Amino acid sequence: VTKILRIALPVPLRRLFDYLLPEVFDSARLIRGVRVRVPFQSRQLVGLLMEVADTSSIPLSKLKTVIEVLDETPLLPDDIMQLGTWAAEYYHYSAGEILLSAMPKALRQGKILDDQVIILANKKTEENLPILNPAQEQAVAHIIQHQTNFSSFLLDGVTGSGKTEVYLRIIDNIIKNNKQVLVMVPEISLTPQTIKRFRARFSEPIFAFHSSMTEKNRQHSWVAAASGTAAIIIGTRSAVFMPFKQLGLIIVDEEHDTSFKQQDRFRYHGRDLAVMRAHLNHIPILLGSATPSLESLLNVERKRYQYLSLPTRAGNALLPNFNLIDMRKTPAEAGLSLSLLASIREHIDAGNQVILFLNRRGFAPVLYCIHCAWMATCKRCAARMVYHQPHHLKCHHCDAHRSLPTSCESCNGSNLRALGLGTQRLENSLKEHFPSLSILRIDRDSTSKKNEMQKIFEQIHSGKPAILLGTQMLAKGHHFPHVTLVGMIDGDGGLFSADFRAIEQMGQLLLQVGGRAGRAEKPGTVMIQTHHPDHPLLQILLKEGYQAFARLLLIEREKFFLPPYVHFAIFRAEARSEKRANDFLEMIKANFTQNAVTILGPSAALLAKRKGLYCHQLLIKAEKRLQLQQFLKTIVQHIETKPLKFSVKWSLDIDPVVVL
Ligand SMILES: [Zn+2]
Ligand SMILES: [Zn+2]
C-alpha cells in the first residue's frame, strides 16, 4: 500500500496537504511532529508531519513527494502539538501557521539549533519575606494542595492586596518540586520591575519571552524552557505555546486584560488557551486580577473555576477614596477642573507624586477649520488625523502621517483650530501651572525610544514630587509607592459606547488606575472628572465595589443575550470597494442558515475604511459553542474549496473582544 504523509504547512489555508513518501526514508522517523521539507507551488517549504494515511482524496499521480524528513524526533512536545491542533480547530486558523510559529525562526527555516544556554545567576536579594495575611495564606495553601491535577483558580484580589506575593510563594513550592512555571502578563516591556522582582526572589534561572525581544534572545528562552533549564518563564500571550520539559503551573496575571487577545491574523486569546493548556498538562492554572473578567466570574458561578479572594490590602495600605468631580458645575481650563488642579497642588506640596490619566495620545484629536468646518482626515482610513506636536498629523489606525497644513485644505482659509485634549496638550498646560516640577509623560510616543521607559521609571522611583501623565499604559500593574493622587481626566469614555464591553472595560480601568494610588503607607485619593456623576453603574462601582458592579453587568448580559451567556464570532471582509465587501458577506448570509445560529449584518465596521480597504462584518451568535463552531466550519470549508469570484480579504474572529 502506498503511504500518504499529511503535512501541516505555514500557509493560510486551513487544511493539511498530502505528499508521497520520500525516495529514501527511515520509517522509524515518521513520527507525528517531525519537520519535513516539501515542494509547494514553485518553492520549498518546511512543514510538520501530522498523520500517515493509506489514502488520499487527490489522485496519487498528482501528489508530489516529500524531499526530506529533517528530524529524528519531534521538536515540539506532544502537548504543544495538541494545543496547536485544538487552537486551529477552535479559531478556524491554519494549523501549520500556528505550530510553526511556536518554533524559533531557525527551526522554521529547516535549520538546527546550536544553542548553549548560558545561565545568568540571579542575585537573590530578598531574604526577609513579608508575613502573609490569612487570606493570602489560605490562597497559597489551597493551590499547593491541588498542584498535581488540572484545576482553574480565580484569584480575585483588590489592587495592592499582595497577589504577586501569593504567586511567589506558590512558585517557590512548585520549583522546589523540580517543576517549571509559566507566568503570563499582559505587557512585559512596560513592566521591567515584574522580572526584577522575580529575580530578587529566586536563585533559579528565570527567562523572559515576548515580541520585543530579539530573535536570538527569544530562541534562547525557548531552548531554556524546552530543556528544563528555565525554572520560570515570564512572557506575554505568545508564551502560551512555549515548550516545557515539566510544566507544573501556569499563572495568568491581570487576566481581564484585553491585550491577551491577539487582534490580527491568528486571533487567539492567550488566557483561554492557557486554561486549555493546563487541562492538557493536568496542572493547575491561576488567573489573577483585581477586576476579573465577566467570563471568569461566570466560570466561578458555574463551578468551573475555584474562587479565591484577597479582600484587603496587604500591610498597612488602605484602599483609596474615590471622588467624582461634576464637570457640568466645575470651572475647567484645557480639560483640567479647578478642583483637580487644587488637589494636585496640595499633594505635590506635601512631597508626593500624582498620576493623571488620559487615554488619548497626541496634542489634539481634531484639526478643524472654523470657516468651513473642514476636518483633517486620513486619506486611507475613515478616521480623523490627530495633531501631534510640533507639526504633524498622524493617523492612529494606519500610522500615516503628514506635516501640519498651514491653511485649510478645503477653503484655503488660515483659521485652523486644534480641538479636544490629548496627552501632549495636557503636558503643556501642566508645565504652565507647575513650571519647576518634573512632568513625566508615558504614552506610545514618549516611550518609543529604547530605554526611555527605564529612565522614566528611575525618576518615578526616586520618590521626588512629580506628575506622571499617560494613557492606559499607566494602568498595567505598576507599583508606584509615592503616588497619593490619581486623576482621571475623562471618566466618561465607555459609559455610552455602542460596544457592549466598553462599560466593563471602563470599570476595570477606573479601579486599576485608581489602584495606583496609596499602595504603600500613604493613603490615596482618586478624582474622576465626569459629566455624568449620577450614572447608576458609576455609582455602584464606586460605592459598592467591583463585585456588585460586575454582578449587575452579568444580569444585563444574560437579559440581552450577550457573552458570556451566548457565543459570538465576527466574520470580517475587506475589499477595495464597499460593494464587494458587502456582497461577499451577503452571499454567506444567503447560503448558510441554521436555526441555532443568528446572523446580524452585514454592516460597516465602526472604522469603515482602513488602509484603503472597506471593512464590513457579520456578527454571528449562538447559545451553544459547538453549534457555532460547526456552522463556521461549514462556511470556511465552502469558501476555501470553491474558487472565489470575490476579491476580498476575509477573516474570522472567535470570541471577539471588540465587536464594532
Ligand atoms: Zn476651511
Ligand atoms: Zn489611516
Q: Is the Cβ–Cβ distance between 223 and 170 less than 8 Å?
A: no
> How many angstroms is it from 115 CA to the middle of ligand 1?
62
Calculate the CA dihedral of residues 207, 210, 216, 220 and round it to 10 degrees: 30
- Residues that place a CB less than 5 A from ion ligand 2: 378, 380-381, 395, 397-398, 400
Q: Tell me which ligand sits closest to the C-alpha of residue 369.
A: 1
Q: How many CA atoms lie within 13 Å of 66's alpha carbon, on the beta-carbon side?
A: 30
pLDDT of residue 2: 77
> How many angstroms is it from 489 CA to the middle of ligand 2?
26
pLDDT of residue 644: 65
> How many angstroms is it from 612 CA to the middle of ligand 2?
8
Q: Tell me which ligand sits closest to the C-alpha of residue 613.
A: 2
> How many angstroms is it from 388 CA to the middle of ligand 2?
15
> How many angstroms is it from 384 CA to the middle of ligand 2?
8
Q: Tell me which ligand sits closest to the C-alpha of residue 394.
A: 2
- Residues that place a CB less than 5 A from ion ligand 1: 369, 371-372, 374, 408, 410-411, 413
Q: Tell me which ligand sits closest to the C-alpha of residue 378.
A: 2
Residues lower than pLDDT 50 in the chain: none
> How many angstroms is it from 374 CA to the middle of ligand 1?
5
> How many angstroms is it from 504 CA to the middle of ligand 1?
39
Residue 518 vs residues 121, 131, 248, 320, 483: alpha-carbon distances, Å: 34, 20, 35, 6, 6
> How many angstroms is it from 100 CA to the middle of ligand 2?
32
Q: Is the Cβ–Cβ distance between 385 and 378 less than 8 Å?
A: yes
Q: Tell me which ligand sits closest to the C-alpha of residue 415.
A: 1
Q: Is the Cβ–Cβ distance between 648 and 586 less than 8 Å?
A: no
Residue 647 vs residues 12, 529, 628: alpha-carbon distances, Å: 16, 47, 26
Calculate the CA dihedral of residues 20, 23, 24, 25 and round it to 10 degrees: 10
Q: How many CB atoms lie within 10 A of CB 211?
A: 11
How far apart are the C-alpha atoms of 369 and 372, rounded to whole Å?
A: 6
pLDDT of residue 116: 66
> How many angstroms is it from 481 CA to the middle of ligand 1?
49
Q: How many CB atoms lie within 10 A of CB 245?
A: 15
> How many angstroms is it from 410 CA to the middle of ligand 1?
5
> How many angstroms is it from 655 CA to the middle of ligand 2?
26
> How many angstroms is it from 362 CA to the middle of ligand 1?
22
Q: Tell me which ligand sits closest to the C-alpha of residue 377.
A: 2
For helices 578-591 and 625-641, angle between their N-to-C axes, nearest 10 degrees: 120
> How many angstroms is it from 635 CA to the middle of ligand 1?
48
Q: Tell me which ligand sits closest to the C-alpha of residue 375.
A: 1
pLDDT of residue 27: 83
Could you read off the pLDDT of 307-361 as tens digits, one per residue? 999 988 776 666 678 899 999 999 988 889 999 999 999 999 999 999 999 989 9
Could you read off the pLDDT of 244-284 as tens digits, one per residue? 999 999 999 999 999 999 999 999 999 999 999 999 999 99
